[in-house]
Structure 1
Amino acid sequence: MRTTHRSTTTSTKAATPPKRRRPMFEFRSLEVVHWDYWQRFQLPLDASVITVVGPNGSGKTTLLDALRTLLAIEDRETARDYKTYLRHNGKGQAWLRAVVSNRPDRRGGRPFFPIKDETVTLACRIRKRGGDWSRDYQILAGDVPVEQIETGGEWLGVRDYRVRLAGAGLTRAICRVLTLEQGATDKLCQLSPRELLQLVFDVFEDKAVLDDYQRAKSEQLDVEKEIEQLRHGLGELHFKLESARVDVRSFEEGQALRNQRQRLQAEIAPKIELADLRATLEGARPRLTGLRRALRERERVFDNLRTREANAVGQRDELRAAIERARADVRACETEFTAARDHARDAEMLVRRRDELARMQAQRGAVDVEALSRRVEEGRRRQAELKLEAERDRQRTGEIAAQVAALSGGGRIVEPFERDFRTALDNAGIEHRVLTELVDIVDPKWSVAIEAVLAPYRHLIVLENPRDEGAAWKLGEKMQYRHFVVSTRTLVEKATKGSLLEVVKFSAEPPSWLPKQLDKIQRVEDIEDGRRLPKGQDWITLKGYLREHRGGRHIGGGAPHFGSGARQARLDELRAEQIDIQQRAHAREDELSELGKRVDAEQARLLGLDAGQELVTRAAEFADAAERLPAMAEAAQQAAVALSDARSRLDGLEAEDKAESIADATRAGEIRSLDNEVRERAQQIAQERQQLVQRIVEFRRKRALMPHAWRSADALRQAREEYESAGAVRRELERIDERLQRGGYIEDEGCIALRDKFAADHDGLESTIGKREAHLHRARRITEEARGAYINVLRATVRRYKKNLAALGELAGIGVDVEMPELVNEDVALAQAGLTVKFDFDRKGWIGLDDGEASGGQQVMKSLLLLVGLLRDEDQPGGFVFIDEPFAHLDVFNIEKVGRFLRSTDAQYILTTPITHNLNVFEPSDLVLATSKRRGGNAWAEPVAVLKRDRRDDAQAA
C-alpha cells in the first residue's frame, strides 16, 4: 500500500546558528519626480539630524511618505498610501530616487553586498497600468540619474525588493518603527514587556530563529498527526487484512468441501456401489434357493386343496335336493295353518263383539247423554286448537332456523320491507350498505346507550356512489321506504374524550352528520354525573337515559341491532325461543294423547246406546261363533305345530348348506390364493434370477471401469467402513451441497493474492510507521536540544539590548534598569516571557514603560531610548529613523534634552516639526529642509528649501 509522508527535515533547521545582522545604510540624497504636487527636485540628506520644517499641510509627512514608499514600507494604520499622492498631479508616472551609503563594517561586510561601491542608488518607478497604479524598484551601484535608470536595468517586484532591503539591515521590526504616525513617537514605550521582548528578538533576527523552532515543532506535530493518520490507515489495512484472511479461510473451507464432494462422487460413490452390488450378489443366491424350496411346498398344498374340492361337489348336490323337499313341506304347512287361523280369528272377533255390546248395554242406565256429548264436543275443539298451535310453532321453528343460520354465517335478520327495498337497489345496480353493517361497539359496557341512540337509524341505507343518489330516492318514493337513504359520507375525525363517538368504530365512512351527533353526546355513569356537566351539554347514562336540548327521557331497552354483540345477543334469544317451542311441543303432545283417549272413551259411551238392538239382531251369529270357537282354536294349534316342525327341518338343512357354502367359498379362496401365490412365486423366482444375472453383468462392467486398487476386497471393505451404503454417500453429498449453497463460500481464488498483498502492505506500512516514529523522536530531540542551546543566544541578545539601553541612558542622563527575562527551553515560558524596563528621570524614582507616571517628554525620551537601542550596533554604527513631530507637546527644556540625546547617538534622524515650535527644535539639526504650501493658481508646489548648518560657525559664535 503506497502512502505519502511529510518530511521532518525542517525540524533540524532551527538548530542552525543565526546570521549576523548586516550594517544598516544611511541616506545621502533624495530626488522626487511628480510626487504629489512636487514636479521635480533633489534634496541632500548627508547629515546626522535632518529637520523638515513647514506649516501644517506643506508636505512634511508627504516627504516622509516618499521615503517610506521608496523603502517599500506600507503604513497599514492610515488610509493614505502612495496612490493617494499620485492622483493629485494628473501625471501617469512618478519617480523616487535616493542615494544611500554602502560603507563596510569592521569585518568588511557591506549592506548591499555584492555591490562594493561606497554609494548605492535606490529607485522606485510608479506607473499607471490598466486603471491602477503599480510600483517597480531597482538597486544600482553608485549615483545613477533617473534618465539612465529609465533606459534599462533589472526591475524588482515589491517582495524581492523588500528581501534585498532586509539584507541591507532594514528588518521588519525597523519598518514597524518607521511607520509611526505623526506625533506618535512615544508609542514604543506603550508596548507590553512581552511585546517589547518580541520586538527585540525581531530586530536582532532572533525572532526568525524562534519562528523556525516553532515551525519545526508545528511540523513535528503535523508529522505526529500524519503518523496518527497512518496508524488509522494501518488499522483500516489490518481490518482489510483480517477480512481478506476470513475470505481465504472461506475459500479454503469451500475448496475442501468441493474436493470432498469430488472425492465422494468420483471415488467413494463408485466403491460403495460396487461393494453394494457385491453384497447383493452374495446374498441373492441363498435367497433364490429358499424361494424355490418355498414354491415346491406351496405347490403340494395347492394339489391337496384341489382334491378336497372335487370330493365336496357331490355332497353339495345331495344337500340342495333335500332343501328343496323341505321347502315344499313348509309351504303346504303354511297354507293349512293360514286357513285354520283365519277361521278361529273370525269366531273370536264375533265372541268379543258380543261381550262388548253386553257391557255397553249394562252401562246404559248411568250415562248423561247431553253432558257426555258436550264433553266430547269440547274435547274435539281443544284438539283442533292444539293442532293449530302446533302448526304455528312449526312455522316459527322454520323461521328461527333460517334466522339462526343467517346470523351464524355473519349475516343479519332483515325485515321484509328492508329486504324488498335492498333487492330493488341490487336489481338497479346501486351499490349500498346498511348502517348496522358499518357500526361496531368498542366498549360493550355502553352497548345499551349506543343501541338506544342508533335504533331509529338501523334501517338507514348508505350509498357507495353519490351519483346513484337520484335513482335510489326514486326507488324509495316508489316503494314508500320510510328510512333515510344517504349518499354524503365523511372520514371520522378524532373523537372528543368521553363522547359516545369514542366507543364506536366504523368499518367504512359513515354519513357526515352521524359522527357529529355521537361526538356531542357525553357518556356519564348515572344521572347525578350528568347533572354536573354544563347545561348545554347532551349526555346519556349507562342505562340509556338521554338528556338533550328538549329535556331528558329514557330511550334504552330495545333489541340490539349493531355490532357483533347484537348479533350474538339475537342468536341467544332465538335459541332460547327454540327451547321454549320444544318444551311447549312436548306438553302439547302429552295433552293431545290424554285428550284423545278421553274423547274416544266418551264417544264409545255415546255409541253404547244402540248395543241392545245389535245383540238381538245378531244373536244366532254370536251363538254359532261361540260354539265353533274351541274346535277351530285346536285345529289352528295343530297346524301351527306342524308348520314349526317343517320350518325347523328346513332351517337345519339351510344351516348345513350355509356351512358347506362357507367351506366351499373358503376352499375356493384358498385355491385362488394358492394359485396366485404359486404363480407369483414362480414369477418372482424368474425375476430375481434375471435380476441376479443383470447384477452380475453390472458388477463386472463397473469393476472393469475402476482402477485395480479401488476394486480390491480391502478397498471395498474400507469404503463400507467409512460409509455404510450409497444412501449414506448420497446424504453426505446433499449435506455438502447444502453447506456450499448456504455457506456463501468465496469462490474467487484471487482472494489469496489479495490477502498476500494486504499482508505485505500491512507489514510495509507498519515498518514505515516505526521508522517515521524513530525519525520524529530523533528530530524532536534535536530540536529541543538546539533550541535549548539557542537560549544562550537569546540571553546574549537581551544582554546586548540591555547594554545599549544603559549606554544610551548614560548619554541622555537617564537611569535605565532592565530585568532579564526568565528564558527556559519550554514553549509556554518562551511565549509568555517579557522584557521589563524601568527608567529614572532626574533621580525621582524608577518608573515603568507605560505606567502613567511619566510626562509627555519623558514618554518621548523612553521611546527614543527603546528605539535607538534597537538600532545601536557597537561594531557598525549607522542606520536611520523617521520621526514625525517628535517635539510635539514638549516644553523648551525637554526639547533641548531630546535634541542633545539625538546628537549624542550615531544614527541618522529625519525629523519633522511645524514652524510654530520653539527654535530650539533646530538646535540638533545639521540640515534643515523647509517646505511650503502650494500657491493658488500654480500647478506645482515650490521645491523644498535646504538650509545646512556649519558647526564651526556655531563653535566660533559660542
Structure 2
Amino acid sequence: MFHLQSLELLHWDYCQRLTLPLDGSIITVAGPNGSGKTTLLDAMRTLLGLDCSGGRNYKTYARHANADSAWLRATVDNRPRNRQSSNRPFARCLLYSDVVTLVCRIDRNGGDWVRRYLMVEGDVSIEQLIERQDKDWLGIDNWRKRLEGAGLSRAIAKVLALEQGQTDRLCEYSPKELLKLVFDVFGDQDVLDRYDEARNHQRQLTQEVEAAERELSHGKAQRAELEIRVNSYRQYELKCQERETLATEVVPVLSSHETRRVLASKLRELHRQRLQSQEDRRQHAQVKAELLQRLQDQTDAATRVEELEAQVRTARRLQEEARDAERPVEALVKRADELQGLAVVEGDADKLTTRIAELSEHKQKLATQWQRLKDQRDDAQRAYDALKGQRQAPPPPEVARFTRTLTEAGIAHHLIADIIEISDEKWRAAAEGVLRGSRWVVVLAKPSHEAQAMALAEKERFRHYIVADAEDAPAQPDPDSLLAVLKFSAAAPRWLLRQLANIRRVASTEAGVKLGGEWITPEAYHRDNRGGRSVWVDPGQHQFGAAAIAGRRQSIEARLAQLDEEMTRLVRDQAFFDRQLQDARQAAKGFTAAAELAERAAEFHEAREQLPTLKQARVQAGERWQQAEALLKHAVVAQTNAQHAYKQAQERLAHLESRSAQHDRDWQIRFDDLMAQALMSREVKLQLPRRWREPARITEMQAKYGNVTQARLRAEAVDRELNEGQWETDPTVLEQLTLMNANVLRQEDELNQRKASNAAAAIAVDNARARYTDVLKVTVRRYRKNIIELGHLAGVEVNAELPHLDGDDIGLRQAELKVHFNFDGKGSIGLNDGEASGGQQVIKSLILLVGLMKDDESTGGFVFIDEPFAHLDVRNIQLVGHFLRSTRAQYVLTTPITHNVEVFEPADVTLVTAKKPKGARWAPPIGVLQRRPPAEVL
C-alpha cells in the first residue's frame, strides 16, 4: 500500500490554500478543540473516497469556503515497498513513476456540489490539473475501485473512517467479523471472486431451478385446471348429447312404445268388458224372472195380511164384548165384598167410628199424594214449556245474574257450557259427568280484566271459577282421549284441556283396569289418581249442545207420563175409598149393609157364579186377540219383506238395464277412441327411424331409463343441470390442454437441464470453496504471525486460535478468529471482554489494525487515528507511542494541545492548527514542526 507525502488544500472549509508535508512515519495534528484537526482528517478521507466523520460530508466543507470550487491534492509514494519485488501500488492504474498525484475537485453545480477525482504520474500542481479534460476525471465508484487496486481495500477504508475517540473500535469486533476483515485485507481477491462467482452462479442456478420448479408447478396447476375444464367440457358435451338423444330418440320411442302397449292393454280390457256384458244380459234374465216371483210373493203376503187383520178385528171385538159382560158382574162382586166388610163393623159403633176415621184419613192421604204429584207435574210441565224454542239449556239464576253483571261492566267473557258440543252421543253421559263441575266456569276474553272480574265475583259470592289463562283446543287431539269427542267454539282453560286430554275412553271397566291411568266408560264410570267413581248425570240435567235439549225433553216427557199414570191410579183409589166412606157414614145413620146383602143375595150369588166364567171367556178372548195380533205382526213383517224384496228386484233390474245400456254406450265410445289413437300411434311409429324401433334398441332404452316418465324426468334433470350448473362450453380448452401438455413437457426438460447445470455448479462451488478454504487458512496463519510479531514489539503476548474451516458454506459462515492478549503476565484477555484498560484497548486495536497492513512482500500503508491518546495516562501514552514507532506503517494522529507532551515524542511531523479568529474569513495557516533525522542533529 502507498504512503502519503504531502497534502494541499484549496478552499477547503476555512483554509484558503495551504500545503502540508506528510513525509513521515508518524504525523501528529495538534491544536485546541475546534481548531480544524478533524477537518484536516476529513480532507484526507474525502481525497481517498471515504466518508467523513461525525455525520459530516464534503459538501459542508466546500460550502464554508464560499467559493465556486474546492481542491484536495496529495502526492503519494509509488515506489515498491519491498526490495525483492518490483510491484508498485498503482501499477494496475498504469502509473509507474515514484510519485503519483491524487486530486479531488469539488465544483458548485447549481445549488449542489459535485466531486470528481484524478490520479496522474509525478507531482502535478492544481493549476496544471485545471487544464485536464472532463473525460479524464473519475466518479466516486471508479475512484474507489482504483484505490482498491492500489491497496486501499473497503475493509481498510472502514477502519480509516473511525470516529474521534473510537481507536479501540477494532478490538470490539466479534471473532467472526474479525476473520472476515482479515480475509478481505489479505485474501486472494481472484480466489475470492471465483468462489463468490461460483457460489453466486450456483445460487442463481438454484434460484433458476426453484423458479423452474415453481413454473413447472404452476404449469401443472394450470394443466390440472385445464384438465378439470376439459372434463367439464366433455361432461357438458355428453349431457348435451344425452339431452338431444332423450329429446329426439328416447322419449319419442318410449312414448310411442308405451302408448301402443297401453292401447293394446286397453283393447284387451275392452274385449273383457264385452264378454262381461254378455254375462250381464244373462243376469238380466234371471233378475226379471226373480222380479215376477217377488211380485207373486208380495200379492200373497198382502192377502194374508188382509185375512189376519179381519181375524184381529173379530178377536178384538169378542174380547171387548167379553170385557163388557164381565165388568157389571165384577162390580157386583166387588160391591158384595164391600158390604160384607162393612157388615162386620156396623154392629159395633166404636169399630164403625174407627172405620170411618181410617177411611177419612186414608182418603186425606190419597188427596195429599195427588196434590204432591200434581205439583210435581206442574213443575215438570213448566220445565217442558221453558224448553220450547230453546237451542241450549238455560243456566241457573245465579249464573245468569253474574253474566249480566259482567256484561254491564264491559267484561267480555263466555261460559264453558256455551262453547262445547259433544260430537259422539255414545259418550254424552261420560262427557256430561266429567264436565258437570266445570259447566259454569267463566272464561275471560282479555286477561287484563281478571282483577275486575274477580272483584265482582267476590261481591256476588259467585261459586264458580273465573279463568283468564285460556287457549284454543288442539286441532288434532289424541283420538282415544275424551277431548277427541268434544268440539270447542272458543278458548278454554288450559287445565281443563289437559284434564280432558289425559282421560282415555275405554269400552268397559275391565278394559280400563288393564289399560291403567285415567279413563272413563260410556256409562260415565270415571277413574283418576284418587280411585274410581260414577259421574253419571240424569239426562234431564244434560247441558252441552243442542242434543241436551232433546234429552231433557224426553226425560221430562217420560216423567209427565209416569206422573199421569200415578195420578190416574190415585183417582181410582180415591173413588173406591170414597164409596166405602159414604157407605160407612150411611151405616152410622142407620143404613145396614146386612139388609142390602140379604135383599140382593141372589143377585150377588149369581154374579159370583158368573164372574169366573166371564173372566175365563175374557181371558180366552184376549189370548185369541193376542195370537191374532202376533200372526198379523208376522204377516205384516212378511209383507214388508216381500215388498222390500220386490223393490230391490225392481231396482236391481233397473240398475242392470241402465248399466247395460251405459256399458254399451261407453264401450262404443272407448272402442272408437282407441281405434283413433291406434291409427295415430301407428303413424307416429312409422315416422320414427327403423333402427330406433328395433326390439333390442327399445330393450336397451328401457334398461337404461325404465319408462318414458323416468326418461322425461331424466331429460328435465339434464336440462336443469345444464342451465343451473357451472360448465365449460369453450371447445378451445382441448387445444389449450394439448399446448399446456407440451409446455409442461418442455418445462420438465428445462428443469432437468437446470438441475444438471446446478449439479455441475455445485461441483464447481465445492472446488472453489476448497481453494477458498486453502487461501483462507494461509491468510489466517499469516495474520496470526503478523499480530504475534507486533505483540512482541509492543511487549504484549498475543495468541490467536486458528478457526476450524470445514468444506461447506455453513462451516465457513460460522468460522471465527479468536485472539487473546496477555499484558504484563496478568492473564489472557479476549477481544472485548471488558478486562483491558484504555491504553490496552488502544494497543489491542493498533495490533489488530497494523497486522492487517503488515506484509512481508509489500510494506506501507497509512492509518488515520483521531485522538488515540484520549483519556490515557502518561504510562499508556508512552506504551502507545513506543508501539507506533516500532511499526512500519504511516500514521496521521490528532491530539489536543492540552495533552501531555509525551504525545509529540514519536512524531516525525507535527502540524499545529489554530482557531479561526472571530470575523476572519480564513483560518490561520497551519504550523509545521518536522523532526530532523539523527545524522542532521549531529
Whether 2:238 is the aligned partner of 1:261: answer no
Q: CA deviation at 1:648?
A: 10
- Give the secondary structure class of the aligned counterpart of 1:180: coil
Checking the alignment, whether the CA contact within 8 Å between 1:931 and 1:944 is kept in structure 2 is yes
Whether 2:101 is the aligned partner of 1:123: answer no
Deviation per CA, 1:21-66, whole angstroms, max 9, x where unpaired? Answer: xx5563532214151x433333333444333233444332332133
Checking the alignment, whether the CA contact within 8 Å between 2:36 and 2:915 is kept in structure 1 is yes
* Structure 2 CA distance for partners of 1:146 and 1:811, relative to 1, 3 Å: farther
Q: CA deviation at 1:737?
A: 4.3
- The corresponding residue for 1:802 is 784
* Structure 2 CA distance for partners of 1:593 and 1:854, relative to 1, 3 Å: same
Structure 2 residue runs without a partner (length 5+)? 81-85, 346-351, 385-390, 414-442, 461-467, 472-491, 504-523, 527-531, 542-554, 588-592
Structure 1 residue runs without a partner (length 5+)? 1-22, 395-400, 407-412, 432-457, 465-471, 484-504, 509-561
Deviation per CA, 1:717-754, whole angstroms, max 9, x where unpaired? Answer: x4675578999522431552475478789573538765
Checking the alignment, whether the CA contact within 8 Å between 1:837 and 1:849 is kept in structure 2 is yes
Q: CA deviation at 1:97?
A: 0.9
* Structure 2 CA distance for partners of 1:189 and 1:678, relative to 1, 3 Å: closer
Q: How does 1:636-785 map to 2 (within 5 A)?
A: 668=650, 672=654, 675-676=657-658, 679=661, 683=665, 686-687=668-669, 690=672, 693-694=675-676, 697-698=679-680, 700-709=682-691, 715-716=694-695, 718=696, 729-734=707-712, 736-737=714-715, 740=718, 746=725, 748-750=727-729, 768=747, 771=752, 779-780=761-762, 782-785=764-767
Q: Report the Cα distance in structure 2 between the residues aligned to 1:264 and 1:798, rounded to whole angstroms.
A: 91
Q: Report the Cα distance in structure 1 between the residues aligned to 2:628 and 2:901, rounded to whole angstroms.
A: 188
* Structure 2 CA distance for partners of 1:656 and 1:834, relative to 1, 3 Å: closer
Q: Report the Cα distance in structure 2 between the residues aligned to 1:864 and 1:321, rounded to whole angstroms.
A: 159
Q: Report the Cα distance in structure 2 between the residues aligned to 1:377 and 1:321, rounded to whole angstroms.
A: 52
- Give the secondary structure class of the aligned counterpart of 1:347: helix
Q: CA deviation at 1:656?
A: 9.3
Q: Report the Cα distance in structure 1 between the residues aligned to 2:209 and 2:572, rounded to whole angstroms.
A: 130
Checking the alignment, whether the CA contact within 8 Å between 1:274 and 1:703 is kept in structure 2 is no
Q: Aligned letter for 1:929?
A: L
Q: Report the Cα distance in structure 2 between the residues aligned to 1:645 and 1:566, rounded to whole angstroms.
A: 58
Checking the alignment, whether the CA contact within 8 Å between 1:817 and 1:838 is kept in structure 2 is yes
Q: How does 1:80-479 map to 2 (within 5 A)?
A: 91=66, 95-101=70-76, 103=78, 106-107=86-87, 110=90, 113=93, 119-125=100-106, 136-139=115-118, 141=120, 143=124, 145=126, 149=130, 153=134, 162=144, 165-204=147-186, 240=225, 244=229, 247=232, 251=236, 254=239, 257-258=242-243, 261-262=246-247, 263-274=249-260, 333=314, 337=318, 340-341=321-322, 343-344=324-325, 346-347=327-328, 350-351=331-332, 354=335, 357-358=338-339, 361=342, 365=354, 368-369=357-358, 420-421=405-406, 424-425=409-410
Deviation per CA, 1:101-140, whole angstroms, max 9, x where unpaired? Answer: 383864567278367785344325276976xx75533335
- The corresponding residue for 1:527 is none
- The corresponding residue for 2:590 is none
Q: Report the Cα distance in structure 2 between the residues aligned to 1:622 and 1:746, rounded to whole angstroms.
A: 126
Whether 2:935 is the aligned partner of 1:955: answer yes
Q: Report the Cα distance in structure 1 between the residues aligned to 2:870 and 2:878, rounded to whole angstroms.
A: 13
- Give the secondary structure class of the aligned counterpart of 2:50: coil
Q: CA deviation at 1:668?
A: 4.9
Q: Report the Cα distance in structure 2 between the residues aligned to 1:920 and 1:581, rounded to whole angstroms.
A: 140
Checking the alignment, whether the CA contact within 8 Å between 2:167 and 2:868 is kept in structure 1 is yes
The two structures have a TM-score, normalised by structure 2, of 0.63
The two structures have a TM-score, normalised by structure 1, of 0.62
- Give the secondary structure class of the aligned counterpart of 2:916: coil
Q: Report the Cα distance in structure 2 between the residues aligned to 1:760 and 1:90, rounded to whole angstroms.
A: 71
Whether 2:567 is the aligned partner of 1:610: answer no
* Structure 2 CA distance for partners of 1:580 and 1:230, relative to 1, 3 Å: same
Q: Aligned letter for 1:41?
A: L
- The corresponding residue for 1:934 is 916
Whether 2:42 is the aligned partner of 1:65: answer yes
- The corresponding residue for 1:822 is 804
* Structure 2 CA distance for partners of 1:391 and 1:137, relative to 1, 3 Å: farther
* Structure 2 CA distance for partners of 1:882 and 1:345, relative to 1, 3 Å: same
- Give the secondary structure class of the aligned counterpart of 2:253: helix
Checking the alignment, whether the CA contact within 8 Å between 1:53 and 1:912 is kept in structure 2 is yes
Q: Report the Cα distance in structure 2 between the residues aligned to 1:629 and 1:382, rounded to whole angstroms.
A: 37
* Structure 2 CA distance for partners of 1:480 and 1:194, relative to 1, 3 Å: closer
Which one is further off, 98-107 or 847-856?
847-856
- Give the secondary structure class of the aligned counterpart of 1:26: strand
Which one is further off, 618-627 or 604-613?
618-627
* Structure 2 CA distance for partners of 1:701 and 1:949, relative to 1, 3 Å: same
Q: CA deviation at 1:931?
A: 1.7
* Structure 2 CA distance for partners of 1:685 and 1:867, relative to 1, 3 Å: closer
Whether 2:6 is the aligned partner of 1:28: answer yes
Q: CA deviation at 1:610?
A: 1.9
Q: Aligned letter for 1:261?
A: L
Q: CA deviation at 1:944?
A: 0.8
* Structure 2 CA distance for partners of 1:391 and 1:27, relative to 1, 3 Å: farther
Deviation per CA, 1:771-794, whole angstroms, max 9, x where unpaired? Answer: 466665555554344323311121
Whether 2:917 is the aligned partner of 1:945: answer no
- The corresponding residue for 2:16 is 39
Whether 2:27 is the aligned partner of 1:50: answer yes
Checking the alignment, whether the CA contact within 8 Å between 1:97 and 1:146 is kept in structure 2 is no
Q: How does 1:889-908 map to 2 (within 5 A)?
A: 902=884, 905-908=887-890
Q: Report the Cα distance in structure 2 between the residues aligned to 1:507 and 1:166, rounded to whole angstroms.
A: 105
Checking the alignment, whether the CA contact within 8 Å between 1:95 and 1:124 is kept in structure 2 is yes
Q: Report the Cα distance in structure 1 between the residues aligned to 2:570 and 2:176, rounded to whole angstroms.
A: 143
Checking the alignment, whether the CA contact within 8 Å between 2:913 and 2:927 is kept in structure 1 is yes
* Structure 2 CA distance for partners of 1:205 and 1:331, relative to 1, 3 Å: same
Deviation per CA, 1:501-522, whole angstroms, max 9, x where unpaired? Answer: xxxx9999xxxxxxxxxxxxxx
Checking the alignment, whether the CA contact within 8 Å between 1:788 and 1:824 is kept in structure 2 is no
Checking the alignment, whether the CA contact within 8 Å between 1:193 and 1:835 is kept in structure 2 is yes
- Give the secondary structure class of the aligned counterpart of 2:804: coil
Q: CA deviation at 1:910?
A: 1.9
- Give the secondary structure class of the aligned counterpart of 1:58: coil
Q: Aligned letter for 2:8?
A: L
* Structure 2 CA distance for partners of 1:617 and 1:814, relative to 1, 3 Å: same
Checking the alignment, whether the CA contact within 8 Å between 1:33 and 1:95 is kept in structure 2 is yes
Checking the alignment, whether the CA contact within 8 Å between 2:447 and 2:469 is kept in structure 1 is no
Q: Report the Cα distance in structure 2 between the residues aligned to 1:584 and 1:638, rounded to whole angstroms.
A: 42
Q: Report the Cα distance in structure 1 between the residues aligned to 2:705 and 2:914, rounded to whole angstroms.
A: 124
Checking the alignment, whether the CA contact within 8 Å between 1:58 and 1:932 is kept in structure 2 is yes
Deviation per CA, 1:600-638, whole angstroms, max 9, x where unpaired? Answer: 999789644224459899998995994987897798789
Q: Aligned letter for 2:72?
A: R
Identity %: 29
